[in-house]
Structure 1
Amino acid sequence: MSLQYKPLSLVALATTAVLYGCGGDDSIEKTYVYDDTTKTGLWCPSPQIVQTVDADYHPLSAAEQAALKAAAMARDGAAFDEAAFNAYTYDYAGINLFEVLGLTLSEQARQATAKEEARAFKISQGQQDIFADEFDSWFDSWFASVPLTDYLGPSERLSKASRGNELSLTAANNSQEICYTPPAACPNYQIPDESGTFACITPLDNPLVDEQPAVSYMAPAGKAAIFYRSAQHIDNGDNTEVYKDLTIHAWNDPDCTSYQDESTTNWGQGKPSEGIDPIYGMYWTLDLLEAPDQCGNMIVYNKVSGAKRVSEADLRIPLANAGHLANLDKMSYLQDGIKVNNYDGKLYANQHPLLGAAAGGTKACGWGLELDGTGEVCVGQALAAQCPAGTIAVGEGQEEIASKCILQFDPAATTLYLRGGFNDWGTANQLSYANSKFRLNVSYGSHPESATPAEDGTVNYGFKVADANWSDATTFGAIKGGDTPGVGSEALLTAGNGVGQDMFVALKENTIYQYVLNATNPAAVTLKINEVPLAVFPVMSIDGEPVELEYSGAGQFSMRMSLAPDTYSISIADMDAGFAVGAGADATVTLNQPYPLVSGGSALSLTVTQQNEYDFILDLSAPDMPTLEVKPGKPLGNTAVFIRGSLNGWTAPASDEIVFDDASRSYSVIYGLEASDTAYQFKFASEDWSTVDMGYSAFDMSADADAIALTDVGGNIGIKVSKSSSYLFKLDFNTAKPVLKVTELPIYIRGGMNGWGEEHQLAFNATDADNTNEAGHTYVTGINLAADNVFFKVATADWSTVNLGAPTDDGLTVEVGQEVSLGATNGNLAIFPATAGEYNFSFDLVNKKLVVTGPN
């Protein structure tokens, strides 16, 4: 792509020959090259370009026409209309014309050039070192797998042959010049270039200028301007909040050295804007060197959250005075919703305002990329199966990130550092290593004077975890499009320069932050960040066996382990941090009771009488008053416990087992109750009535506003309800004495018949008129349905406690009168009644079954 195409004036051309088929009168005036400046001898109206005839432009041969016909017949089958078939005009959508017609001479030459470019790219990724002696054979195989359209665009042969057929070209016309429209589909702010590669490039002149308002600011000599228009921009409105905290990062590198030093920025600090254009958004200016390169590096991002705009990949602005990066006024434009321009694998802002532009055109991906399932997004190519032993694939499936193979790192042989804006991206913060984990506590003091804290008082810093040399295998960052670790969260990371994204953390003054990089699986490293009360990594020793305590939040460190009935000796310390806590006068730890620890102190003693998993919780939320609490992991042990009472004849059916939720440390069961003036009675007990037997005195009753009143009925628990509905019984074990709470938990039929709302609640289905205290797990409601298709699910208001639909994501049609099994999937249920009327929906929550009957 040497120069952008711009049609010359007809006046400049001298007529010397004629070819037919290109002018308004079906003729074209042809000239020889005569102008040393323009080097052109033929004028063609845009988007046509001047081309020299060769075999590529000869009409289709008989063999080519036969091959096209065969491909069309194979695609269309019985629908193929042989009488209407014309090899030049037939619609070949979906047919790979490269396979049918092969490559033209031009395409073969471009393929050879592309192969050299791809080879150089893969070498720049370090793949020559990864594959070693096998690199050449691997590369040839890999290159052969790249779709030809990715680097050749659409096949030219049919388009060129059609032009040749129009002009009746033969070998006698070789070396003559003709006008030709290439088969390129470009956005309306781009045109095909004139080099014969038919790539889409930005024209020198703005093709949309007549439709666009004027830009309020033009860059003066020696400066470049960058505009960014947000999707939330309001034309001529107050956009202050839209662009709040946005900035740009600008830097020089060997490929793009264009900015004066004072215009380069530090990541996380950025550069103040010059203002907000009423139409084109926020803009920034950069001072250029006297002789800048053809490009400048930049990123638009939010300096508080770290979120990048327009693209997650690094961007460039075009600054050349000629060529496809020509930008004579040094103005560049970015806009949400319109993709940036991809030139030779690098992403560039547009040289013209994008207002009114469309982002259409044929989508092609760069080296190491492939189209995702939508056909619209380029993602890292699937590569893992090709990577040699001892290496892993990185970048797979990440948008605009070229995949590659890198060495799988050896945690035990690696020294890692926390490197970011808080330490000038240096190696001041080394992580310690033990048991496949890298750890570091950082005490963050006062913000630097140059920082501008956010409203919550924090300063945002970019960072990565890497070795001293930023090695490919040991430079860890966030996965593009995935989670990024923040304080209180954990995220999967990826290695690889150019693959792992900068992570961001918001730090507040005088706070301790704990970083734990887990390399138990070196191919799937995670990072967790926590705000901790003390700069310690406490280790608990149980009968001499060291066990790490992990930070679990709220100032607490914890772990869970299985213990047999016995008496155990316990000590807690972090020798590297000079931290140790233990027993005071009485060393006995009692289950479910926080034990006050003292600095130093002697060994603690714990006696357990049941085989169980136990949670050990070291509470340092008040650092000067630490405690240790030991709780059974499952408070009621491993024995099944049931709700038992008048609601089920005091039996213990499997359907009535209370279910433990580890995250909330609670047990629960859902039960349907009939409205009644007489109290139901119940307890929570094991089948043998001895391992567990919990009545009224075993609980504190919830005082929450939505809790139903519970009474003591001779040691049993009594409950009256005024509504035939479904009820949630919940036992909360987060306090020394468990709390019992019963609330109504309405279950609904939610779907198209009621706007997916909460109009049709399922009532408990009482069927025994002689039993006024009936209970169970079946619920019913009547719904008026039209004779029309409607989608629905069975769900609670929160769409989580109960959310049941089709057994699979593919959905399920419910036939009237036929019982169906439901599943917790994304698939909806559908029903299409033959006649309108009221239909009865009967739902069994235990067995997850539904039957619809009617109409009544």
Structure 2
Amino acid sequence: MSTYMKKLLTTLLFACSAAVLSSCGGDQVGLSGTADSVLVCKAPETITEDGTACELVIVPCNYPEVANEQGLCVMDIGAWPDGANGITMPEPEYIPKDGEVVLYYALTSGEYTGWGLHAFNEGTCTSWSMFDAPGGETTGTSWGIPIDPVGVDPNFGVYWVLDTTVNKNCGNWIPYNFDAGVQVQFTAIAPLADEIENPTNRFFLLEGLGIVFPHPRTFESLVVPGGSTLICEDPQILNEAGDACIDDPTALETFVPGEATLYLKGSFNEWTTNEEYVFEYSEGVYTMVTSLPASADDYSFKIADDLWSEPTSFGATATEELVVVGEGKTLVVGEDVGQNITMTVSADANYQFIFDATDPELPVLTVIEVPLNRVMYVKGTLNEWSNTQAMVYEGDNIYTSTFVLEATDYEFKVADANWTDDTNFGAAAGDEALELDTTKSLVFGEGVAQNITLTITDAGNYKFTLDATDPSAPILTVNNAAPYGATEMYVKGSMNEWSNLQAMEYLGDNIYSSTYTLDVTAYEFKVADADWTEATNFGAATGEEALELATAKSLVFGEGIAQNMTLDITVPGDYTFTLDATDPAAPVITVTQVLPYGATVMYVKGTMNEWSNAQEMVYEGNNVYSSEYELDAASYEFKVADADWSETTNFGAATGDEALELDIAKSLVFGEGVAQNITLDIATSGTYKFSLDGSDSTAPILTVVLVP
């Protein structure tokens, strides 16, 4: 069918003068006289011959197209006038009996091997008598087990005969070839309610068209005189004029997370683009929830955009089709690569599909069972009532979200993206205020659930926890996300005179940290709040006071129970004290030495050792590394680098400043092509010490001295 639209039958003149702009409502204050302007007409209007106005020139529609109520040309679905365009429409070979409907599907190839019919009762369409009404045990055929055709009509293609109910309304049907993986990409609906829409009890569908005809139609009868009708094979579509097949300009060429709207398409929704199965997107992750009933057969599905664009049709690798609930699966794209994903559902449940595309080339799908049937959000004045941050399902019916909040008053609710009535949770009227660390049972429904109010007195991270054990009355708690709330924690001991001078920094994820510069000596210390409060006065268990570097130690609390920890420092420098308070009553402490280049081993590499990694630099403490070499009287070239000459740890001299003098410090630069070989002239043979001060790890300072 031609997809272009011809113009209306009357001519409309638009009398906006090109010379005087104000006559079109465009007064220009401050201008005097008139201004000549070029008149621009918007398509489909054209400028008149005298150039003073725009006009819409209309031509009549050519049958089989007719004008609709707006005057646009559309395909006529009425009875074919005998002889129209020189065509006499043949009669279909099957005459339906009372209570029967015949469904035809024509292919341009005329090859119907493997084609069958998927028919089902759904929504308002409940006319197929072979199925129970929606909600019954059988609402339609199982995908992959189609209804076989009754025959093939030479003019109208393959056909099926279905019985209808007494009080018929409409029926859903999809022709498809399961083995070939081809189907009509929409649900055809046969209107059966009255004789105007259903005069023949026969319905005709033709390949490539989105129209169900209640009267016989052939491909030949769809040609519009003066135009042309093409049938384009997917993924191509007709151009606007209807005379050429083109690539769909809306199809995606590459997958860019956030730019593509993705859907879950599978056996549970007839593989169609359905808004109930659309993914919600945030920061590289797509999320959606659906309710799936138990099934003896595995469900099949893919993740794709509405057009099944090649870069966004995600499936499973062959032989790895099954996704296990709770386990991640890396997906692939490509018609010949991505297989249908399968999933076993043994009990009715809500399933959350999490498609992590933060690495677009290796996206990972994880499916988990959840208590609520929608993706949930905390939405309020804390985030402009937006859907930007989905709550994370932690398991055991618990959802959480963490927000950085300022000290002020807030209003919010817990709801799905669309404020659906039964997942629009708030406070009961008169009970809107929520106190920190206090549980509140929520109610749902428009006009019932009120905005929850919350006052934050101390800025910080706050965790919103929703317990959905009872999905109709979930329980909400808000508390400071730090394990010890607003209480500041300190490392206090002989390194700081047991003072509160330096609070530990909260890094998130239950981790606190402090770094101290320590000399070579033995230290005693504890971890506690400023006031040595009983429940946050942490130390070692009796007999386990000694702490080894880089070794975790679980702490105990309480006056007389928690003993001072001891720590022997043999290398001076910076040391980080890390407290993991995942269990706030039994936190774990680890002390590690802070090295400028972490675990990376540094080398002096040059003509003195054939540019090799034969001798590691030794860390002396206080950010200083060193190596000693026996050198003969000669000139040398070298650099300081890691074993692999990594870009950021490939240190040399600045261009034009390559020479290094003994006993004189030189600041180094890094990077391939930037850091030049350092030159060193040795006049006297002996042992020479190369010292690298990495206090500034990006611009270390090198000194070479003769060892006495």
Q: TM-score, normalised by structure 2?
A: 0.41
Give the structure with the higher percent helix.
1
Q: TM-score, normalised by structure 1?
A: 0.35
